[in-house]
Amino acid sequence: MQGIYLPLMTPFSSQGALQVEKIQPMVEHHIRQGVDGFYIGGSSSECFMMSVEERQLVFSAVASANKGRVPLIAHVGAIALHDVKRLIDSAVTYGYDAISATPPFYYGFTKAEVEYYYRTIAQYSQLPLLLYNIPGTTGVNFSHQELIELSQLDNVVGIKHTTNDMFFVERLRNSLPESIIFHGEDTMLVNGLQMGASGGIGSTYNLMSAHYVAIYQSMVGGDIQRAFEVQKQVNRMTEVLLDVGVYQGIKYAMGILGIDYGACREPFLPLDATQEQKIKQALETLNFKGFIE
């Protein structure tokens, strides 16, 4: 389980209705671009603005579209373990290869409670578990030692690590050489791979999956200069996305490129005319249509 795993976004109508019928062409597009797998139902999917039932529908739709061609990781993180278990059951039913989970957040859970959460998931699940460290959004901060100890739990096979802490990537690789480490900072994929990451998972992969595949393949092939060149290109686009709104910007840009990603759920706001023009100009400047197969 390594390489470029795409955290697929969820298509909604402008009224906020789930549009699972749009998932098939989204999956097909990214398989054509060469992604190694999909990470389904995570932050990029707006999962915390979806019901458990909707998340289960998305698990089903992606599995049906994928038809076993590439591995699938189901993000099952939720505040309540009751909901996590329901999502794990669905991931097993639909033939996913692994699960992943953010830590429980909002209520200021103790480290003992967070450890209990992960230990319970690992014991309950028939599928291997990837931890998910993203303190910037969950507000849950771990020390290196705490993450290494959690990584040693039975049935935990790795981590999705979304911080700019490259030191931890190197320390985990040194401590647990067989651990799967997915780097989650899109703008620093080259650095994560240099420090020992197994691959990457990031929101902007939805717009630039071919670019990130090129970065990974260049690094594996030893062409670091080429990897840095492509990293700089995606970073220029990411800068624009951060300016206009990452999720809305990606969905709008993918529509221009011919893949209907739908809209974001409120309270995300649609792009205004000025923001739309910034996306169009960026796509033309960076020659995206020439890069995508």
Rounded CA separation 39/207 (Å): 15
Collapsed DSSP state (helix, strand, coil) of residue 140: coil
Residue 139 has pLDDT above 90, yes or no: no
- What's the confidence (pLDDT) of residue 70? 98
- H or E element at residue 114: helix 111-124
Give the pLDDT band (50/70/90) at residue 264. very high
- What's the confidence (pLDDT) of residue 213? 97
Helix, strand, coil content of the chain in percent (nearest 5): 55, 10, 35
- What's the confidence (pLDDT) of residue 275? 98
Query: Could you tell me if residue 37 is inside a domain?
Result: yes
Question: Which distant-in-sequence residues (6+ apart) come within 8 Å of 121 by Cβ?
Answer: 76, 81, 84, 88, 99, 101, 129
- What's the confidence (pLDDT) of residue 281? 94
Residue in the structure block whose two tokens are 């011919």? 258
Query: Could you tell me if residue 288 is inside a domain?
Result: no
Residue 289 has pLDDT above 90, yes or no: no
Give the total number of structural domains in the chain: 1
Question: Which distant-in-sequence residues (6+ apart) come within 8 Å of 100 by Cβ?
Answer: 39, 42, 73, 74, 75, 76, 77, 129, 130, 131, 132, 160
pLDDT tens, residue by residue, 78-125: 999 999 999 999 999 999 999 999 999 999 999 999 999 999 999 999
Query: Could you tell me if residue 197 is inside a domain?
Result: yes
Decide if 218 contacts 247 (C-beta within 8 A). Answer: no
Q: Shortest CA distance to 115 belongs to which of 72, 152, 75, 71? A: 152
pTM, to two decimals? 0.96
Least confident of 118-122, 128-132, 135-139, 210-214: 135-139
CATH number at residue 93: 3.20.20.70
- What's the confidence (pLDDT) of residue 5? 98
- Average confidence (pLDDT) over 8-36: 98
Give the pLDDT band (50/70/90) at residue 288. low
Q: Which two tokens stand for residue 147?
A: 């993450």
Cα separation values, 58 from 75, 98, 231, Å: 11, 16, 30
Give catalytic residue positions: 132, 160
Mean of per-residue pLDDT scores for the chain? 95
pLDDT tens, residue by residue, 218-247: 999 999 999 999 999 999 999 999 999 999
Give the pLDDT band (50/70/90) at residue 3. very high
- What's the confidence (pLDDT) of residue 285? 85
Residue 288 forms beta bridges with which residues? none
Query: Could you tell me if residue 166 is inside a domain?
Result: yes
pLDDT tens, residue by residue, 42-84: 999 999 999 999 999 999 999 999 999 999 999 999 999 999 9
Rounded CA separation 167/244 (Å): 31
Query: Could you tell me if residue 124 is inside a domain?
Result: yes
Cα separation values, 262 from 14, 84, 145, 200, 247, Å: 8, 27, 41, 25, 11
Q: Shortest CA distance to 203 belongs to which of 147, 160, 171? A: 160
Give the pLDDT band (50/70/90) at residue 140. confident
Collapsed DSSP state (helix, strand, coil) of residue 201: coil
Query: Could you tell me if residue 156 is inside a domain?
Result: yes
Domain that residue 112 falls in = 3-223
- What's the confidence (pLDDT) of residue 220? 97
Q: What 8-state DSSP symbol labels residue 264? A: P
Query: Could you tell me if residue 38 is inside a domain?
Result: yes
Burial of 287 (0-12, 13-18, 19+ CB in 10 A): exposed
Query: Could you tell me if residue 63 is inside a domain?
Result: yes
Rounded CA separation 249/268 (Å): 11
